[in-house]
Amino acid sequence: MLRIGMNVLIMIGLTGMVGCATGNSGVSDEDRIDAIAAQCSTALIAHDLDAIMILYSEEFIDKDAVRTFLADTIDQGMLNNLSIARETAVLEVEGDTATYSGIGLSSDLGAVAVDLTFGREGEDWKII
């Protein structure tokens, strides 16, 4: 049950605004998605709901519910002393969708591996 809850937590509140590799920046989709995952990690550790929510897709269903869920999770201490490890996680990009599998989360409550799913929106990648 913790795995499902943490997957929902991650998938309901993370991914950021980065462009696709077709722009002039020369940055790969993988690097852009990894940067979003890093932003998400930093925001979760800091319990910064505003920074987390900007990473989600505007097309995501009920962002208010996600924000409430995350706020309750923080209030209940589920993210106290949170650490996030992406070193062994696997990022796969296929077309306009990407999956970052096996991200390690650990807190005062224990440890779990979670997955993030990203979708391309125009030139941006967002958590979906």
Residue-by-residue DSSP string for 75-91: HTTTTTT-EEE-TT-EE
pLDDT at 31 over 70: yes
* Secondary structure (DSSP) of 2-17: HHHHHHHHHHHH----
Rounded CA separation 40/26 (Å): 22
Q: Is a pLDDT exceeding 80 seen at residue 1?
A: no
Q: Is pLDDT above 80 for 7?
A: no
pLDDT-derived band of residue 118, with 50, 70 and 90 as boundaries? Answer: very high
pLDDT at 26: 82
Q: Can you tell me the mean pLDDT for 72-101?
A: 95
Residue identified by tokens 């979708």 is 119
User: In angstroms, rounded to a whole number, what is the distance separating the alpha carbons of residues 44 and 83?
Assistant: 9
pLDDT value for 59 = 84
pLDDT average, residue stretch 74-100? 95
Complete DSSP assignment for 30-74:
HHHHHHHHHHHHHHHHHT-HHHHHTTB-TTSTTHHHHHHHHHHHH
Kindly report, residue by residue over 44-62, the tens digit of the pLDDT. Answer: 999 999 999 999 998 877 8
Residues of the chain with pLDDT > 90: what percent?
68
In the beta sheet, which residues pair with residue 111?
106
Summarize pLDDT for 9-26 with one digit per residue, the tens. Answer: 443 333 333 333 344 468
